[in-house]
Amino acid sequence: MKILLLHQAFVSPDEPGHTRHFEMAQYLLKHGHELVIVASDLNYQTGQRIVKHRGMFTEQVIDGVRILRAYIYPELHRSYFWRIVSFFSFMFSSVWTALFVKDADIIMGTTPQIFQALSAWFVAWLRRKPFLLEVRDLWPEFGISMGVIRNPIVIVPARWLENFLYKHATHILVNSPAYKEYLLGKGVPGKKITFIPYGTDINMFNPNVDGSHIRKKFGLDDKFTVVYAGALGQANDIDTILRAALRLQDESKIRFILFGDGKERTRLEAEASHKKLDNIIFAGPCPKKEMPFVLASSDVCLAILQNIPMFRTTYPNKVFDYMAAARPTILVIDGVIREVIESSDGGIYVNPGDDEMLAKTILELSKDPQRTNQMGMNARAYLVRHLDRHDKLDETLQLLKNLVKT
């Protein structure tokens, strides 16, 4: 099979971000299939160009994976208005680029953002091929819940577009059980939806990785280190981390280190400087291939989102990486991912937005290494049993085969 994926925020191992689709492409290659990716030429987290722009698109081949980097207007982090402009630029350039890929058996679109999924549907319609819609984010629901999308003139067509894609997709793949429930509530037939969580690569992230050079680089050799790895955007509620760090400022043993980039980074660094938070380090973005060492340098890891009901539906990728690395997760997110952490006894739940509880939890764990280590081992064991990415890719391959046969 040849599968064509349109994915603006696709990430290779040399970039910061989640590489699930790159790993999927490599897995398919090993099984005699090809995943060709049409991606933007800009990293979503950093806003920086990945390749030099030559014409409408530039082709890369990384470890056998073919990537066509389509042009995107480079203003992702300027404002929400300009972000939408960037999204629209990729919506058009990705269609043009996708038409250069011949003999695709199935076209795959993904959300977020939703406009690229419309592009994928259009290419599938032109080619008369099955259209697989992968829902990784409930758009526009998340944007509306966060207050980013407020104008009814925007909300009404956004909801129409969402329902249009659900109706016209040949099949829908979701990575959270709550997303399936959401789609069923929208009237999508259950037989049209498949739930496959992403999990993580248990070989890439494992307890034997040595992260000592990361600890040495940032002066963390004798510190209790709390790592956050991910985007620094509005949804991620890093302000709660800053408030917790302020509460722990007199605890000289504890350090927070944030690996990532995003729209809010400049403001957050200024805020930390204003509050004289010398216990928090903004380490910047880190390529995915370095992330196993980053997690190995931690004592505990943080996953956090704003206190918004819709965020209770998410399965954040970073939590699975934390679990595979045998690190306990301090989870400041309620909902379905809380069920995973509590079922595994692989971390501690903290109420979203509660910096006092967050600080107290971190302080308690810093004084109880035996409990911390045990939770990490529990998390790893649970993930190996239930969320090994190899098993999940087996399931995804079978889904693709079934769709091509239809």
- Print the SS3 string covering 19-41: CHHHHHHHHHHHCCCEEEEEEEC
Alpha helices by DSSP H, listed for 78-176, are 80-98, 114-127, 141-146, 152-168
Q: What is the rounded CA–CA span in Å between residue 307 and residue 235?
A: 9
Following CA atoms 299, 386, 133, 41 in sequence, which dihedral angle do they give, to the nearest 10 degrees? Answer: 30
Amino acid sitting at position 406: T
Distance of CA 320 to the CA centre of its chain: 11
What spatial distance separates the first Cα and last Cα of the chain, rounded to whole Å?
14
The secondary structure element, H or E, covering residue 107 is strand 106-111
For tokens 């006894």, what's the residue? 345
Please say whether the beta carbons of 113 and 8 come within 8 A: yes
Q: What's the rounded Cα separation, in Å, for the pair 317 and 305?
A: 13
Digit-by-digit pLDDT tens for the chain (406 residues) are 999 999 999 999 888 888 999 999 999 999 999 999 999 988 877 777 888 766 778 899 999 999 999 988 887 767 767 778 888 889 999 999 999 999 999 999 999 888 999 999 999 999 999 999 999 989 888 888 888 788 888 889 889 999 999 999 999 999 999 999 999 999 999 999 999 999 999 999 999 999 999 999 999 999 999 999 999 998 999 999 999 999 999 999 999 999 999 889 999 999 999 999 999 999 999 999 999 999 999 999 999 999 999 999 999 999 999 999 999 999 999 999 999 999 999 999 999 999 999 999 999 999 999 999 999 999 999 999 999 999 999 999 999 999 998 7
| CATH code of the domain made up of 2-199+388-405 | 3.40.50.2000
**Distance in angstroms (rounded) separating the CA atoms of residues 256 and 239:** 13
| C-beta of residue 232 within 8 angstroms of C-beta of residue 264 | yes
**CATH of region 212-386, choose from 3.40.50.2000, 3.40.109.10, 3.40.228.10, 3.40.50.2300:** 3.40.50.2000
Tell me, rounded to whole angstroms, the distance of Cα 96 from its chain centroid. Answer: 26
Q: Do domains 2-199+388-405 and 212-386 have the same CATH topology?
A: yes
Task: Please report, for the chain, the start and end positions of each structural domain, with discontinuous segments joined by +.
Answer: 2-199+388-405, 212-386
Task: Supply φ then ψ for residue 335, to 5 degrees.
Answer: 110, -145
Give residue 77's pLDDT.
Answer: 67
- With 0-12 / 13-18 / 19 or more C-beta atoms within 10 angstroms meaning exposed / middle / buried, residue 382 is middle
Both tokens of 224, joined, read 């209790």
Q: Would you say 166 and 138 are in contact if contact means Cβ atoms under 8 Å apart?
A: no
Q: What share of the chain is helix, strand, coil (3-state, %, to 5)?
A: 45, 20, 35
Question: What does the block give as tokens for 344?
Answer: 């595994």
Among the listed residues 123, 156, 159, 154, the one whose alpha carbon sits nearest the alpha carbon of residue 138: 159
Rounded Cα distance between 155 and 268, Å, is 29
What is the SS3 assignment for 97? helix
Residue 32, strand partner residues: none
* pTM for this entry: 0.92
Q: How many CB atoms lie within 10 A of CB 213?
A: 11
